[in-house]
Structure 1
Amino acid sequence: MTAALWQGPAVALVNLFDADGGIDAPATAAHAARLVAAGLRAVLVNGSTGEASTLTDAERVALVTAVREACPGVPVLAGASGEWRGQAAARVRSAAQAGADAVLVAPPRLGGDLGAFYAAVAEAAGSLPVLAYHFPPVAGGPVPVDVLATLPVSGIKDSSGDPVRLGAELQLGWDGAVYSGAAALLGYAGWLGATGAIVAAANLVPEDCLAAWDRDAAAQLRVLRAEREAKAAPGGLKAAVAARYGTSPFRREG
């Protein structure tokens, strides 16, 4: 396998907003730095956990720039999905200019030629690694396992939570990195030999996510409990993060 940007758990970062719905890039960056100090290996900005669908392109750039500056020691990934290849390519170029180390891109929701879509994304990325993103219907369309190895990507983030699919990705015989986006599979993914994980629960319980990756069963159960409680109500994750760290609980979605 080619050298991965990082191994082990990373955070799918929440983006923080003020009471009027404006982005608070400094507070978001400070939260990212706090999680890196706790031991997380990388930061994903502007993913689905960051309510990326509500952001303008200028806001995306501001958030990547702030997080990159606040987290100098770890890879910073930027979500750069789009409804067609031109939009995604433009977002990829902007993320690269803002200092991202890699980009995460889901296919368009309505499908199409995935090879042509990711070829345009890879061309825009240049030397920047591209991770495909599989999380239908939350973020774009599906990335079928049987075409993954043919795409011009460096790896995949699979947030489906399907352990059988994760196993199939790890048995493709390709040189791409495989990151799980499911907090429930942290220990399982680490046990099977996945490259790492990018999970929303790491905003709230970073220490337990790290321990669960190392197959600490008690930590995995604590992650599951924290995630279950956070998902019990809309905005629950942000409210739980606010309760622990004093961050803003405000959301745009919902």
Structure 2
Amino acid sequence: MTDPLWTGVAVALVTLFDDEGAVDERATAAHAARLTDEGIRAVLVGGSTGEADTLTDAELAGLTAAVRAAVPGGIPVVTGASGAWRRAAVSRIEAAVGAGADAVLVAPPRRGVPDLAAFYGAAAKAAGGAPVLAYHFPGVAGGDVPVPALPDLPLTGLKDSTGSAERLLQELAVWDRAVYVGSSALVLMAGAVGAAGAILAVANAAPGQAVAAFDGDAAAQRALLEPHLRAKDRFPAGLKALVAERYGTSVTARLS
């Protein structure tokens, strides 16, 4: 297996907004730093959990720079840099890497592309040597990344948020690069079967339980069920309420 950018649990970071709905870079970066102090191994900025659809390219770059400055140097910062078509994705990738992202997470366009390898080839070129991870969460964050296509794509890794145990096993069977689950229901399994890690929304509020579950603690995996279900409720309102209960952060969301 190619060495992954990190192993273990990453957080799919919430984007914190002020009462007027403006991005609060300082609060978001402080939250990221707090989570790394609690054992989180990497930070995803501007993913679907971070309300990426509502962020401008400038806001995404500002968040990337703020989080990169706030977390320790050994913690990778990955920025969500998908787009509705290739040129939009390339623009976001270039901006994210220019702002300090260590890697980018890119979903295929929601309506698909005629040549997935060419799309990710353009993404890799735009990243300029920074790792590119594909994002498979069709219907929520872009289009499909078929399992049989994985060996031919110029990628460093994959985040799969479908929650399918069968698909996870298929990915690991055909691919020698890093696979990260995006569902907190599969964290224990991911660690047990050799996935590189997990990138989780629920890690915003339950980082310790997420880390313990990946390390093989069955009780921690069971304990993740309640925050998992609450985080999914009326997204992102349920998740932001959960995070606010623990850390006193803002519950303001652009998506509602």
TM-score, scaled relative to structure 2: 0.97
Distance 2:133 2:177 in 1: 9
Three-state SS of the structure 2 residue aligned to 1:194 is: coil
AA aligned opposite 1:19? D
Could you tell me whether the CA contact under 8 Å between 2:137 and 2:144 is conserved in 1? yes
Structure 2 counterparts to residues 32-181 of structure 1, below 5 A = 32-72=32-72, 73-112=74-113, 113-172=115-174, 174-181=175-182
What displacement does 1:230 show?
3.2
Counting matched residue pairs gives: 253
What displacement does 1:116 show?
1.5
Could you tell me whether the CA contact under 8 Å between 1:54 and 1:253 is conserved in 2? yes
AA aligned opposite 1:114? L
What displacement does 1:175 show?
2.8
Cα deviation per residue 1:176-231 (whole Å; 9 max; x = unaligned)?
A: 11111110000000000000110000001000000000121111111111111333
Cα deviation per residue 1:62-102 (whole Å; 9 max; x = unaligned)?
A: 00000000012300000000011111111111111111110
What displacement does 1:233 show?
3.6
| Aligned-residue CA RMSD (Å) | 0.9
Distance 1:167 1:2 in 2: 17
Three-state SS of the structure 1 residue aligned to 2:241 is: helix
Three-state SS of the structure 1 residue aligned to 2:254 is: coil
Three-state SS of the structure 1 residue aligned to 2:31 is: helix
- Which residue of structure 2 lines up, in the alignment, with residue 244 of structure 1? 246
Q: For structure 1, which runs of at least 5 residues remain unmatched after alignment? A: none
Distance 2:39 2:48 in 1: 22
Asked if 1:24 is matched to 2:24, the reply is: yes
Three-state SS of the structure 2 residue aligned to 1:18 is: coil
AA aligned opposite 2:160? D
TM-score, scaled relative to structure 1: 0.98
Three-state SS of the structure 2 residue aligned to 1:251 is: coil
Could you tell me whether the CA contact under 8 Å between 2:105 and 2:132 is conserved in 1? yes
Q: For structure 2, which runs of at least 5 residues remain unmatched after alignment? A: none
- State the percentage of identical aligned residues: 60
Distance 1:7 1:136 in 2: 24
What displacement does 1:149 show?
1.2
Cα deviation per residue 1:78-132 (whole Å; 9 max; x = unaligned)?
A: 0000011111111111111111110000000000121111111011012100000
Distance 2:224 2:181 in 1: 15
AA aligned opposite 1:211? A
Distance 2:233 2:199 in 1: 21
Distance 2:36 2:75 in 1: 8
Asked if 1:11 is matched to 2:24, the reply is: no
Distance 2:53 2:141 in 1: 9
Distance 1:110 1:94 in 2: 23
Could you tell me whether the CA contact under 8 Å between 2:233 and 2:239 is conserved in 1? no
Could you tell me whether the CA contact under 8 Å between 2:133 and 2:155 is conserved in 1? yes
